């Protein structure tokens, strides 16, 4: 570790909470979140019903909503890889339906790329390439049928451009497909994105050709079109090429111009707009990679909860990479703020949507009684509310503190998981921490102070990998003493309804049902019989209570001091200033002895300690936030 980095750690601890405080928490971030109608279609498809998907795509075709149609077709095609029954039954009932055939055509392309994977060609096996090309050749008649059944639709030509890139079609074929797409919609984003991929250096073009194509499309696009951000996608492709060039970067000016154009486009969309999520994720990535952290934080603010697979999947698991880049941005900005300067406040833009509806609702189920939880949680760094749950179980939730404790600032962002990590340390009983948002439900199992297993269900995500689900189920069964983990694995691999699957898992583990109201308000345990608040304690006070609290007794909350009047604050502040200045003068002047200097110093320290103690003794607020819609 560099010495300069060591010196900036106090700045990070002091300012990182405030920087980006208006960003949604990690658990609220969803990858490729669909709009409500697409969410309904995906959930129905997962259960085998194709009717909502047919209705949705028919509406996009009748109203010529080609961009929305492209998005819906792609998501449904991906979903059909994991739940193919609904598409097969749709084609069996209506083999000439242009919407069903279009989804089938895109399914072929997604299936082919699933075989090939997204690795560079040198890392793909020969057998994979043969299977990849075979599936793409099988797609040709289906793509042709989709184009013939709806001649005005540009989406089949977007699929054809993707297929042409995969089979290494010559430039003449690519030009023909692109011309057909332009005839139907000259500003269709999906077709231009696939054309840019064909023209980039890692496929069949060059950096120069790629940038020229993207800039030409952006110049010709109408105001507000997302094609104005196409040069930004060219910047991403250039960055991941990771080519070292001697001398100055030949594309730096074009990259900066692409960022400026994309920022102007982002400003024309509302914060959190799902339609702008694609290019805003590219914008956040490029700004972060350019070390333009202030602007990157603004881009992350505009994104809200809407992370997308591309471009983050280029660097690893997309959602994890998004969260890591966002966290790194906050840390880098915190390192630049002087320690004694006040922490910067987020812009006053009003309450964001994620605060009202998308912030995660959290509760933990500890497999022991409330007294044991309370005694174990004395020094967890957070204020908690506990309530008895059935027999020998306890519900736990975090009570928001008006000011975060010092130790809490060192813990991960999610306070309930951090608290459970702390109060399960050295204990034989586990705690299952549950989070829920409208799009995502998840859990983390903590036992003996370490994470044993975790899992997440998302509305539009495919079923979990079988091997991973089996391993997670085995870990759950071992902790909870279940002999057969297969029912757990079945629940973990379910898709389509995250909230229901989360409740099914709790029942399968033999735990008490989730408390009424979970998923609605933030604090839901207050009205339960036996609910108690365990207020946050300082480290020494927590250790003292741990050693002195008798077994079987729920520790009392520390007494709250009466608020001091304004006169008290004025007098103590004046005394601090007087004693501090006198102590400085006494040590500076050689005529004053060490005894008097020491006395003045002790008086100054005592005044400071009284002020600090009064500041820290503030009442804990447990008022629930406004009800969500």
**448-459 pLDDT per residue, tens:** 889 999 999 887
Q: Closest by alpha carbon to 236, among 191, 284, 190?
A: 284
Residue 120 φ/ψ, nearest 5 degrees: -65, 155
Residue 561 has pLDDT above 50, yes or no: yes
d(CA 282, CA 279): 5
60-64, long-range: CB < 8 A, 24+ apart: 61/98, 61/99, 61/150, 61/153, 64/152
Spatial separation of the C-alpha atoms in residues 548 and 533, rounded to whole Å: 19
In three-state secondary structure terms, 267 is helix
Q: Residue 369 has which token pair?
A: 């009684």
Note the pLDDT of residue 560: 57
Q: Please write the tens of the pLDDT for every residue from 16-29.
A: 777 887 888 887 88
Q: Does pLDDT of 358 surpass 70?
A: no
pLDDT for res 497: 81
In the numeric block, the tokens 């451009």 are attached to 161
Most confident stretch, 94-103, 353-362, 410-419, 550-559: 94-103
pLDDT at residue 442, rounded to an integer: 92
Under 8 Å CB-to-CB from 207, ≥6 apart: which residues? Answer: 200, 201, 238, 241, 251
Residue given tokens 């503030």 in the structure block: 618
Average pLDDT rounded to a whole number, residues 360-387:
85
Q: What pLDDT digit, counting tens, does each position of 207-216 carry?
A: 999 999 999 9
- Rounded Cα–Cα distance for residues 72 and 58 (Å): 11
Taking 90 as the threshold, does the pLDDT of residue 79 lie above it? no
Q: How far apart are CA 251 and CA 105, in angstroms?
A: 37
**Predicted confidence (pLDDT) per residue in 269-283, tens digit:** 998 898 999 999 999
Average pLDDT, the chain: 84
Residue 406 has pLDDT above 60, yes or no: no
Share of the chain above pLDDT 70, in %: 87
Mean pLDDT, residues 119-146: 88
Q: Which two tokens mark 307?
A: 């992370």
How far is 149 from 393, CA to CA, in rounded Å? 60
Top-confidence residue, 191 or 79: 191
Express as a percent the part of the chain with pLDDT over 90.
48
Q: What is the Cα–Cα distance from 444 to 455, expressed in whole angstroms?
A: 7
Q: Is the pLDDT of residue 179 over 50?
A: yes
Whether pLDDT at 626 is above 50? no
Q: Return the higher-pLDDT residue of 268 and 464.
A: 268
C-alpha span between 110 and 74 (Å, rounded)? 9
621, pLDDT greater than 50: no
Helix (H) or strand (E) segment spanning residue 399? strand 393-399
Specify the pLDDT at position 411. 45
Predicted confidence (pLDDT) at residue 241 exceeds the cutoff of 90: no
**Mean pLDDT across 487-499:** 87
Q: What is the predicted pLDDT for the residue at 407?
A: 42
Q: How far is CA 229 from CA 158, 191, 302, 522, in A?
A: 18, 14, 15, 38
**410 pLDDT more than 60:** no
What are 138-177's pLDDT values in tens digits?
Answer: 999 999 999 999 999 999 999 999 999 999 999 999 999 9
Q: How far lies 466's CA from each of 112, 152, 483, in Å?
A: 20, 41, 19
Asked whether residue 568 carries a pLDDT value surpassing 90, the answer given is no
Q: What's the predicted TM-score (pTM) here?
A: 0.76
- pLDDT at position 185 is 94
How far apart CA 201 and CA 214 sit, in angstroms, is 14
215's enclosing H/E stretch is helix 207-220
pLDDT the model gives residue 622 = 39
E strand or H helix that includes residue 389:
strand 383-389
Range with lowest mean pLDDT among 43-52, 74-83, 144-153, 559-568: 559-568
The residue among 18 and 250 whose pLDDT is bigger is 250
Which of 230-244, 287-301, 482-496, 541-555 is predicted most confidently?
287-301
Report the pLDDT value the prediction gives residue 376, as an integer from 0 to 100.
Answer: 83
Tokens of 607: 């005044």
Interatomic CA distance for residues 193 and 195, integer angstroms:
5
What average pLDDT does the segment 536-543 reach? 53
The per-residue pLDDT for 558 is: 54
Query: What pLDDT is stored for residue 394 in this prediction?
Result: 93
**What are the backbone angles phi and psi of residue 27, rounded to the nearest 5°?**
-70, -15
pLDDT band at 562 (very low <50, low <70, confident <90, very high): low
Question: Measured between alpha carbons, how far is 574 from 568 in angstroms, rounded to an integer?
Answer: 10
Classify residue 339 as exposed, middle or buried by CB count within 10 Å of its CB (0-12, 13-18, 19+). Answer: exposed
> Is the pLDDT reported for residue 491 higher than 60?
yes
Residue 233, pLDDT above cutoff 80? yes
Q: How many CA atoms lie within 13 A of 153 on its CB side?
A: 27
Please give the pLDDT value at position 623: 41
Pairing of strands 383-389, 393-399: antiparallel
Largest CA distance in the chain: 103
Is the pLDDT reported for residue 627 higher than 50? no
Which residue do the tokens 């050689």 mark?
Answer: 590
CB within 8 Å of 551: residues ≥ 6 apart: 371, 375
């Amino acid at each position: 570790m560099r010495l300069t980095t060591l010196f900036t750690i106090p700045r990070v601890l002091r300012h990182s909470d405030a920087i980006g405080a208006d960003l949604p928490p990690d658990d609220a971030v969803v990858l490729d979140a669909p709009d409500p109608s697409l969410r309904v279609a995906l959930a129905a498809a997962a259960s085998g019903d194709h009717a909502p998907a047919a209705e949705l795509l028919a509406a996009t075709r009748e109203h010529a909503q080609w961009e929305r149609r492209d998005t819906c077709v792609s998501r449904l095609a991906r979903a059909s890889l994991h739940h193919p029954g609904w598409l097969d039954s749709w084609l069996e009932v209506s083999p000439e339906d242009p919407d069903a055939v279009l989804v089938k055509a895109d399914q072929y392309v997604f299936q082919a790329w699933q075989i090939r994977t997204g690795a560079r060609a040198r890392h793909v096996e020969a057998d994979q390439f043969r299977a990849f090309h075979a599936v793409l050749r099988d797609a040709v008649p289906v793509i042709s049928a989709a184009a013939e059944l709806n001649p005005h639709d540009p989406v089949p030509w977007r699929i054809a451009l993707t297929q042409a890139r995969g089979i290494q079609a010559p430039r003449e074929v690519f030009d023909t497909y692109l011309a057909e797409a332009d005839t139907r919609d000259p500003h269709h984003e999906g077709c231009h994105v696939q054309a840019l991929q064909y023209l980039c250096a890692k496929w069949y073009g060059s950096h120069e050709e790629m940038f020229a194509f993207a800039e030409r499309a952006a110049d010709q696009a109408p105001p507000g079109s997302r094609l104005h951000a196409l040069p930004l996608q060219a910047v991403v492709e250039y960055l991941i090429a990771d080519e070292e060039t001697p001398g100055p970067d030949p594309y730096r000016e074009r990259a900066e111009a692409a960022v400026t154009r994309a920022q102007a486009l982002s400003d024309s969309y509302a914060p959190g707009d799902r339609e702008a999520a694609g290019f805003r994720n590219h914008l956040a990535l490029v700004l972060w990679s350019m070390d333009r952290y202030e602007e990157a934080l603004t881009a992350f603010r505009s994104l809200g909860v809407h992370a997308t697979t591309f471009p983050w999947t280029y660097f690893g698991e997309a959602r994890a990479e998004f969260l890591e880049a966002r966290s790194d941005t906050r840390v880098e900005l915190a390192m630049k703020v002087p320690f004694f300067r006040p922490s910067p406040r987020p812009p006053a833009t009003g309450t964001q949507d994620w605060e009202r509806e998308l912030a995660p609702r959290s509760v933990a189920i500890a497999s022991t009684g409330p007294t044991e939880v309370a005694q174990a949680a004395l020094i967890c760094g957070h204020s908690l509310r506990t309530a008895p749950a059935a027999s020998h179980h306890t519900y736990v939730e975090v009570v928001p503190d008006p000011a975060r404790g010092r130790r809490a600032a060192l813990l991960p962002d999610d306070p309930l998981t951090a608290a459970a990590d702390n109060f399960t340390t050295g204990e034989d009983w586990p705690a299952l921490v549950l989070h829920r948002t409208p799009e995502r439900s998840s859990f983390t199992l903590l036992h003996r102070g370490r994470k044993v297993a975790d899992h997440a269900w998302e509305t539009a995500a495919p079923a979990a990998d079988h091997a991973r689900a089996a391993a997670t189920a085995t870990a759950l069964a071992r902790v909870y003493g279940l002999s057969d983990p297969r029912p757990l694995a079945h629940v973990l691999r379910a898709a389509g309804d995250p909230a229901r699957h989360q409740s099914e898992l709790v029942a399968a583990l033999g735990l008490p049902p989730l408390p009424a109201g979970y998923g609605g308000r933030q604090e839901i345990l207050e009205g339960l019989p036996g609910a108690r608040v365990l207020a946050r304690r300082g480290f020494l006070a927590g250790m003292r209570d741990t050693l002195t609290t008798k077994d079987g007794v729920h520790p009392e909350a520390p007494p709250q001091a009466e608020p001091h009047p304004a006169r008290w604050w004025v007098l103590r502040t004046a005394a601090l200033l007087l004693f501090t200045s006198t102590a400085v003068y006494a040590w500076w002047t050689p005529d004053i002895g060490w005894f008097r200097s020491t006395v003045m110093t002790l008086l100054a320290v005592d005044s400071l300690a009284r002020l600090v103690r009064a500041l820290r003794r503030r009442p804990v607020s447990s008022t629930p936030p406004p009800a969500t819609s």
